[in-house]
Amino acid sequence: MFWTVVLPAQITFGLLLGLIVIAVVRTPESRQRSTFFRAVLLGVILFVPSCAMIMTVADFYRFGVFNYAETASVSDSRVKRYLPEAATGITVAKSPSGYKAKFKISKVDLDEWHHHQFKLVGEAAIPPKEPLTSGQVFSEVFDDRFGHLQWKMPIDAVEYTGPARPNGAGYFIWYSVVEQTAYQNVGYW
């Protein structure tokens, strides 16, 4: 839930600690103690604003739309965990709470991967449901999840619901057999 603030907080803490050390070392020995306390007080006051600025810069690089040729080239472990190994032509729109992905994959590979995901979760998983056919899939849900990316729901879409992990993480996939394209919505904490 708060994983997005960990890296900016670590960077901010390290920078402020470094500045405090530099300030104390550069101060004459007779005033080092008062300089230390002033620098620590200033660091405490500036921690949250500095962390917010660093988080803004870090988020620019961590979140957004990214393209990958194959799953092996994905470096983010949160994304890679839910991508089938056989996926190619991957587009990922990452956010702090999950990601949306579009990729090419055969139905056989998708089915194998999907069933393997239930085995990984084990007994905590609700048994897999049969994929819902396009007559049962609501285009409003698809548009709600992917509309901002200008991805349109395929006419022959089949919906797969992945296992829900104990922390609430999970995925939905809309798959087109004709296009051999999957549209994935993943949520994690």
- Domain that includes residue 56, residue range: 3-61
Judge if 139 and 163 occupy the same domain.
yes
pLDDT of residue 137: 54
For 42-57, the pLDDT digits (tens) are: 999 999 999 999 988 8
Higher per-residue confidence, 30 vs 39: 39
How large a percentage of the chain has pLDDT more than 90?
A: 36
Judge if 103 and 158 occupy the same domain.
yes
Distance CA 171, CA 128 (A): 12
- The tokens for 149 are 């990316």
Task: Give mean pLDDT, residues 140-157.
Answer: 85
Distance CA 69, CA 67 (A): 7
Judge if 110 and 30 occupy the same domain.
no
pLDDT band at 125 (very low <50, low <70, confident <90, very high): low
Q: 108-117 long-range contacts, Cβ below 8 Å, gap at least 24?
A: 109/84, 110/84, 110/86, 110/160, 110/173, 110/175, 110/182, 113/84, 113/85, 113/86, 114/160, 114/162, 114/173, 117/82, 117/162, 117/163, 117/171
Angle at which helix 32-62 crosses helix 3-26, to 10 degrees, equals 150
In this predicted structure, the answer to whether residue 134 has a pLDDT above a threshold of 60 is no
Domain boundary among 38, 61, 84: 61
Domain boundary among 61, 93, 109: 61
Judge if 69 and 88 occupy the same domain.
yes
Distance CA 33, CA 20 (A): 12
Distance CA 158, CA 17 (A): 53
Number of structural domains the chain divides into: 2
